[in-house]
Structure 1
Amino acid sequence: MPTSLSDPVGRYEKQPTVPLPAGARVLTGARAWAAAADAAVERAAGRSPLLVVDAYPGADLPLIAAAIGEALPQWTVVDVEDAAALPIEAIDARFADNLTDDRVFGVLSHADVDAFYDPERLAKLAVEADGDDRPLVLLGWGADLVARRTGAPYALVLADMARWEIQLRQRAGAPNWRAGNPDEDRLRKYKRGFFVEWRAADRHKRTLFDRVDFVLDANAIGAAAPAGREAGMITGDAFRAATANAARAPFRVVPFFDPGVWGGQWMKRKLDLDPSQPNYAWCFDCVPEENSLLLEDEEGAIVEIPSLDLVFTQPQALLGERTYARFGAEFPIRFDFLDTMEGGNLSLQVHPLTDYIQDRFGMHYTQDESYYLLDAGDDAVVYLGVKDGVDRDAMLEDLRTAESGDRPFEAEQYVNAFPAKKHDHFLIPAGTIHSSGANSMVLEISATPFIFTFKLWDWGRLGLDGVPRPVHLDHGERNLVWDRDREWTEANLVNRVEVLSSEDGVVEERTGLHELEFIEVRRHWFADEAAHDTEGTVNVLNLVEGDEVEIVSPTGAFAPYTVHYAETFIVPAAVGEYVIRRTERSRSDRFGTVKASVRGTRTGEA
């Protein structure tokens, strides 16, 4: 084991924030709802006022309704979901082909929110709302569907939630949207959200962003809400200005950490995490589908929104014209940590080929990835590619035998085990069998569709829930590329470092990824500073060496932004030129960053 495991490292910021525009304030409690009611009254222009609170599925509607009732006792609250949603049996039948019988994998739905509602009941509810002479609140996912049918003016509140918060609540017993499945396997809950509910919910809220009058932090409402934080509300104008500003300066999303059966101790000690936890396996430090942004006003009050809202509202400024044209409003690069220090091996796995993921699951690109070693023990290895001369049928038969529990799979009989040390980079194009061994700290740099991992062997372990973790040999067999043997793997996937320049104290290297993968990774070593340019596409970086740096604009376009060791940060395409330099507090002699971008999307690149 490296002696550095217990050594302290510079501060790792676990709650990074993005500033709200000057003068914007986070409203809470009765004051927030009074502001929303005032907006509805003003817009009504003498009619009965109508306030619409459209809530992302997973929001705690009873608590939101109670807060509204307490703050606005003269207003009538109508639960749109109770009044017009289809019975869960009808919803299940409608999406049976998307949900499938598999525990993990489904097929992406292209439905809109109105597919979850009875059109006749929606129309009836709209007529009733339009004829009601009382101040009225329409509450629930899709409440805007009813309001738009009334033809009446209204004020609109979006009660938004991040997917990670929804997952935490589901693990604690919350059901999927109206599903009545509190005790169901959490993987099946996640599958329902990922393939069906969140797809429709995201399509729906994208129609609201330009019109919304207020955004409510629904993450802070509920039994599982973060301690000590009131549910804040900001104006729609503040929300739009904050996301526009965030897309033009460096920022970080809020990282989240999770234990696992193979989890280790590196993050706990290096990043100052809860020492009472047995381990931490993952840290998702740049997964905008799941992460949050914390919007902070000048008094330190915070509203949490999904970081996907930034992707949806500012795709061209954030991603760049070419990346947006290629992927749409989707963040294609993911950075996360895999900690096996004093832990165990990851599962032996393979990711689907592009044709397979499109055909079977409806995803338009796959999870190509790589392992960058932030740290490694003396015995660390990365399993990668099949051994020379492997008997395909014998290997598959042994995998099936291992899955049945008759005997373990002898991985090193069939799979290469490459020694791994700090700052090594292993490239893993889809179709390549791979695993990170124990006693490694991996920065995983990959494409974003992270759910699509076909486990082939999990070393005979149970999950943290005491249930065997799912193995997908049928999928895996159809995606293993068998000619990626040791010779090919070593020549193409192991430490393919190319020095591009070395001048003025800065060394720039290309470390990958493989030509079959769309992500380009550059590493910069420097003592004082290194100049960069987004060249029209989003950059994702991690400080892999050194205690602290700051990101500055040569033109003063944004305030200096401080980054600490191991922190992942995003530099939007709109930033253009930027400099990474040591701060006055830095004590390190050398600094290193890895930077990922989408290959073929930089300005002037063919």
Structure 2
Amino acid sequence: VTTGDILVYFDMARWEIQLRYRKGMTNYKTNNPDEDILRKYKRAYFIEWRIADKHKARLFEKFDYVIDTNKQNDPKMITGQAFCDSLAQLATRPFRTVPYFDPGVWGGQWMKEVCHLDKKQKNFAWSFDGVPEENSILFDYDGVVVELPCMDLVLYQPKALLGEQIYARFGAEFPIRFDFLDTMGGQNLSLQVHPVTEYIKKNFGMTYTQDESYYILDAGEGACVYLGLKENIDKEQMIEDLRKAQKGEIVFDAEKYINKFPAKKHDHFLIPAGTCHCSGNNAMVLEISATPYIFTFKLWDWERLGLDGKPRPVHVEHGKEVIQWYRTTPWVKENLVNAVYEVKEEANDCKVEHTGLHALEFIETRRYTTDHITNHDTQGTVHVLNLIDGKEAIVESPDHAFEPFVVHYAETFIIPAQVGAYTIRPYGESENEEIKLIKAYVR
């Protein structure tokens, strides 16, 4: 309408918005305080936040001031110049996003103990840790901590963060996601399938889909992963059984149709789109996946109700269109269960293994096992890593381009493409001990 004398942008992280929805906050220009949380979230995720991000991205260098509104009644203000300078600096060094944790009907107890969470909570099911679209970042300005959406970094510094090739392929979107799924002492996840690329493009306008994998950080007694189809099943009968189960007429017999593999610590199960899957109980999963908009077709949810007391939605009709029926037991065993081999071409005096993902997926994952320093180079593409074994490690620049960065067990961290060369070694309580890291990057 007009350009004012001073432009002030009020910023809030998506997780904080979700928490406020639960307390009755409405969607934008909407009188829906009591609408169910899932609908509020979908409206924001698919529409409001996308529009707001596009609007914001055009204005970054026009902001006079930016205000952090994440803590109610405690706003923090910085100059627009400080905002831009901070994001530019962050794109030159390793960093972590602010993780968040949430309960669920199937949630477990592992994160509560390892991540020192509220013991009074019944469980924690999810954690997003290293998902710039969802997580936030913290900046310290002379002792004042300001929280900003990490999506600001993706939108303002996409080439420095992602690299030229990834930016050309995906635009200002972060294509790799690390998150936790905790069923230790909990229940099975919902049986589900993700759309293949052709289907998601035709029906939802997305150019890539949610290929993923389950890396088993820890496992208890009886831990398992449901993955792929059994041999010689009747696919029409399976879909009919899923429909009847959806109506409550029968209990779906998952083990009649779906493979069930035992899971132990450091197993890696690969899940290209179109593969029926879910984690069983007593597993702590580091999910490594692509990050399109959220499209998960649930097929069966083990007769459960959501936290709101209502049956959780399933999507059998979408699911039946994308299930890859040829992915039966022999194919799954050969291609998707611990398809690990040692990598010799890397110039590292340590054990380097390719653990995934499948050739149909665009993400590469490599596992490093070492008790000394290892050398790495982004080679112009963003890296996402997690310390999957060992208490502490330190990330350093060979030419002191950034301050040393310490990470702890099970923490995810991001190395921007612009960083180039970096090293990682055991540190602190893990010094001179063996550690394991998993690294993901776009092939």
Q: If the TM-score is normalised by the length of the shorter chain, which range does it land in?
A: over 0.9
- Cα deviations by residue, 1:456-483 (Å, 9 ceiling, x for unpaired): 0000000011111110001101110100
Determine the structure 2 residue equivalent to 1:320: 163
What is the Cα-based RMSD across aligned positions, in Å? 1.2
**Secondary structure of the structure 1 residue equivalent to 2:129:** strand
Determine the structure 2 residue equivalent to 1:354: 197
Amino acid aligned to 1:344:
Q
Task: Quote the Cα distance in structure 1 between the aligned partners of 2:30 and 2:142.
Answer: 41
**Paired residues of 1:542 and 1:567 also in contact (CA < 8 A):** yes
- Cα deviations by residue, 1:235-276 (Å, 9 ceiling, x for unpaired): 111111110010010000100000000000000011110000
Q: CA deviation at 1:360?
A: 1.5
**Secondary structure of the structure 1 residue equivalent to 2:401:** coil
Q: Does structure 1 residue 310 correspond to structure 2 residue 161?
A: no
Selected match of 2:360 from 516, 519, 530: 516
Corresponding pairs, count: 442
- Cα deviations by residue, 1:521-554 (Å, 9 ceiling, x for unpaired): 0110000221111111000000001000110000
- Cα deviations by residue, 1:330-380 (Å, 9 ceiling, x for unpaired): 000000000000000000000011111122122221100000000011311
Amino acid aligned to 1:184:
E
Change (3 A) 1:392 1:473: same
Instruction: Could you list the structure 1 runs, at least 4 aligned residues long, displaced by more than 3 angstroms after superposition.
Output: 502-505
Q: CA deviation at 1:386?
A: 0.4
Task: Quote the Cα distance in structure 2 between the aligned partners of 1:538 and 1:306.
Answer: 19
Determine the structure 2 residue equivalent to 1:205: 56
Determine the structure 1 residue equivalent to 2:31: 180
Bigger Rg over Cα:
1
Task: Quote the Cα distance in structure 2 between the aligned partners of 1:460 and 1:598.
Answer: 38
Amino acid aligned to 2:217:
L
Task: Quote the Cα distance in structure 2 between the aligned partners of 1:503 and 1:361.
Answer: 42
Amino acid aligned to 1:412:
E
Q: Does structure 1 residue 286 correspond to structure 2 residue 286?
A: no
Under a length normalisation based on structure 1, what TM-score does the superposition of the two structures give? 0.72
**Secondary structure of the structure 1 residue equivalent to 2:303:** coil
**Paired residues of 2:12 and 2:149 also in contact (CA < 8 A):** yes
User: Residues 204-353 of structure 1: matches in 2 within 5 Å?
Assistant: 204-221=55-72, 230-299=74-143, 301-353=144-196
- Higher helix proportion, which one? 1
Determine the structure 2 residue equivalent to 1:147: 2
Q: Does structure 1 residue 389 correspond to structure 2 residue 232?
A: yes
**Paired residues of 2:211 and 2:272 also in contact (CA < 8 A):** yes
- Cα deviations by residue, 1:277-301 (Å, 9 ceiling, x for unpaired): 00000000011111101111232x1
Task: Quote the Cα distance in structure 2 between the aligned partners of 1:204 and 1:461.
Answer: 40
**Paired residues of 1:547 and 1:587 also in contact (CA < 8 A):** no
Deviates more, 1:448-457 or 1:565-574: 448-457
Amino acid aligned to 1:404:
K
Determine the structure 2 residue equivalent to 1:603: none
- Cα deviations by residue, 1:367-404 (Å, 9 ceiling, x for unpaired): 00000000011311100000011100111111111111
Long gaps (5+) in structure 2: none
Task: Quote the Cα distance in structure 1 between the aligned partners of 2:338 and 2:294.
Answer: 26
Determine the structure 2 residue equivalent to 1:194: 45
Task: Quote the Cα distance in structure 2 between the aligned partners of 1:199 and 1:206.
Answer: 11
**Paired residues of 2:392 and 2:428 also in contact (CA < 8 A):** no
**Paired residues of 1:542 and 1:593 also in contact (CA < 8 A):** yes
**Paired residues of 2:347 and 2:375 also in contact (CA < 8 A):** no
Deviates more, 1:398-407 or 1:335-344: 398-407
Q: CA deviation at 1:505?
A: 4.6
**Paired residues of 1:147 and 1:154 also in contact (CA < 8 A):** no
Determine the structure 2 residue equivalent to 1:414: 257
Q: CA deviation at 1:162?
A: 1.2
Task: Quote the Cα distance in structure 1 between the aligned partners of 2:35 and 2:170.
Answer: 34
Determine the structure 2 residue equivalent to 1:138: none
Determine the structure 2 residue equivalent to 1:448: 291
Task: Quote the Cα distance in structure 2 between the aligned partners of 1:503 and 1:433.
Answer: 37
Determine the structure 2 residue equivalent to 1:543: 387
Task: Quote the Cα distance in structure 2 between the aligned partners of 1:201 and 1:524.
Answer: 40
**Paired residues of 1:378 and 1:421 also in contact (CA < 8 A):** no
**Secondary structure of the structure 2 residue equivalent to 1:578:** strand
User: Residues 93-112 of structure 1: matches in 2 within 5 Å?
Assistant: none
Task: Quote the Cα distance in structure 1 between the aligned partners of 2:148 and 2:95.
Answer: 14
Task: Quote the Cα distance in structure 1 between the aligned partners of 2:282 and 2:45.
Answer: 32
Task: Quote the Cα distance in structure 2 between the aligned partners of 1:450 and 1:314.
Answer: 21
Change (3 A) 1:450 1:335: farther
Determine the structure 2 residue equivalent to 1:432: 275
Under a length normalisation based on structure 2, what TM-score does the superposition of the two structures give? 0.98
Determine the structure 1 residue equivalent to 2:214: 371
Task: Quote the Cα distance in structure 2 between the aligned partners of 1:183 and 1:387.
Answer: 44
Long gaps (5+) in structure 1: 1-145, 223-229, 600-606
Determine the structure 2 residue equivalent to 1:157: 8
Task: Quote the Cα distance in structure 2 between the aligned partners of 1:585 and 1:515.
Answer: 37
**Secondary structure of the structure 2 residue equivalent to 1:176:** coil
**Secondary structure of the structure 1 residue equivalent to 2:168:** helix
Amino acid aligned to 1:545:
D
Task: Quote the Cα distance in structure 2 between the aligned partners of 1:546 and 1:259.
Answer: 26
